[in-house]
Structure 1
């Protein structure tokens, strides 16, 4: 089937989506362009985050890309230059979600299966995920300073990487080995092949889906609240977030299933 071309020059196949066994899989699908992000892809991702949040059948998300050696090269610079030339606008002005902030608000856990190098917008997607699996021998970085751009979206990395390391990434624009990012705790696992990266990511997603959904959602919300508010206020917010969890039927089902030596039957209420 021939892909449809959108108004912004992207294709409706630039971002693929499927749900199976509670896991939503999003695939960036522009291997010839190193999975660079178009205006159309940005809009599609925003729509998918909305859809995932309200789909009760989805328990976790795997974000990956078509194999080409690069998970995501960032925004499509050729499209950005064309928009400036034809419309006189910077590409950020026409993006629905310029810094992919909606991704940070998704209630379901997101596992990034990074099957190649990741820079700029690729790093945005990586840091906005909750868990990260990388490919051995690849590199990641914040290359905006080399392109005359900026990286305000990198602020959450203050809580995820040592400050001197983050300064090096932002100020030099150089990339860093995935193995070092793993040692620093930014990447959860490093696997030898793209297929192994996706397999590990799906294993993590399956484990998440097997747990009580209210507990998972509250756990993610609590960590995000603590990052935003600091320890004291974050702790208070986490206690508030967990009140419905402790009052739920699932909170009784877990101990009951353990006592009866059977798998729990989560109801999500």
Structure 2
């Protein structure tokens, strides 16, 4: 199978499983990831997703060039429909997913593999990981959102240096520009990702979804509209009926004398 899935302790571990092709993203793999995310969203037994790659060499080296070449050969409209929009739908889905998606970059993350990392709300990298935006070497721009998300993460000038050179960069540089949250020893990559997911999953699913929606959605808004989005997410959580019992339980545990640390802003 081109994608492996293992669910334990409310964490779905999803592994790109084409190691002989450096886990290249062919159409079937992209479609499978989309279908899995649809299922995870509706599954109350899944609270977070970790996405990684099989083998020791790559998270994903990007799009399957052989398949992509066939689409280009069939015409521009076919290539846009079958390749560009398919990849953009996947990265948009990851970016807006209502449950945390943590990318665990275990090796190469080039092209579409880097774009998945950009789209995910959280990412950890092995010290062996490397990244690149090599599309310009093929005579094209990135097509799965790389021209849009990397400048938002790294800043325009730093992003353009990577986008226009196509040169690989290290896990340490990925951390420096905000592409990943942490760089860890290779053997600690999945344990660290599981630990991060576990620390998130201590909290209410409604609150997690609200934070993801407000933080991601607000990036493209003015501060005023972002604050309105934040207020709307609060309304949704409060209307669920689960906020007040949580506040009362906190007060019961900590006492009402005002000496306990206030967890709210």
TM-score range, shorter chain: 0.7 to 0.9
The list of structure 1 runs, each at least 4 consecutive aligned residues, that deviate by more than 4 angstroms after superposition, is 82-85, 87-92
Structure 2 partner of 1:249: 241
- In the TM superposition, what are the counterparts of 1:116-131 in structure 2 within 5 Å? 116-131=107-122
| Contact preservation (8 Å) 1:16, 1:28 | yes
| Contact preservation (8 Å) 2:151, 2:158 | no
Residue 37 (1) aligns with residue 29 (2): no
Residue 213 (1) aligns with residue 224 (2): no
Q: Offset of 1:156 from its aligned partner?
A: 2.2
Q: Offset of 1:92 from its aligned partner?
A: 4.3
**Structure having the larger proportion of residues in helix:** 2
| Contact preservation (8 Å) 1:134, 1:190 | yes
Structure 1 partner of 2:68: 80
Count of aligned pairs? 248
| Contact preservation (8 Å) 2:50, 2:101 | yes
Q: Give the TM-score normalised by structure 2.
A: 0.86
> Unaligned stretches of 5+ in structure 2?
255-265
Cα distance, 1:235–1:157 mapped onto 2, change above 3 Å: farther
Q: Offset of 1:151 from its aligned partner?
A: 1.9
Q: What's the secondary structure of 2:154's corresponding residue? A: coil
| Contact preservation (8 Å) 1:137, 1:179 | no
Greater CA deviation, 252-261 or 35-44?
A: 252-261
Structure 1 partner of 2:170: 177
| Contact preservation (8 Å) 1:144, 1:151 | yes
Structure 2 partner of 1:266: none
Counterpart CA distance in 2 for 1:118 and 1:223 is 25
- In the TM superposition, what are the counterparts of 1:1-269 in structure 2 within 5 Å? 13-84=1-72, 87=74, 91-95=79-83, 97-99=86-88, 100=90, 101-152=92-143, 153-154=145-146, 155-193=148-186, 195-261=187-253
Question: Aligned Cα RMSD in Å?
Answer: 2.0
> Unaligned stretches of 5+ in structure 1?
1-12, 263-269
Q: Give the TM-score normalised by structure 1.
A: 0.85
Counterpart CA distance in 1 for 2:24 and 2:106 is 14
CA distances 1:107-165 after superposition (whole Å, capped 9, x unpaired):
11100011112010001110111111001132212111111222251212232112211
Structure 2 partner of 1:265: none
Q: Offset of 1:47 from its aligned partner?
A: 1.0
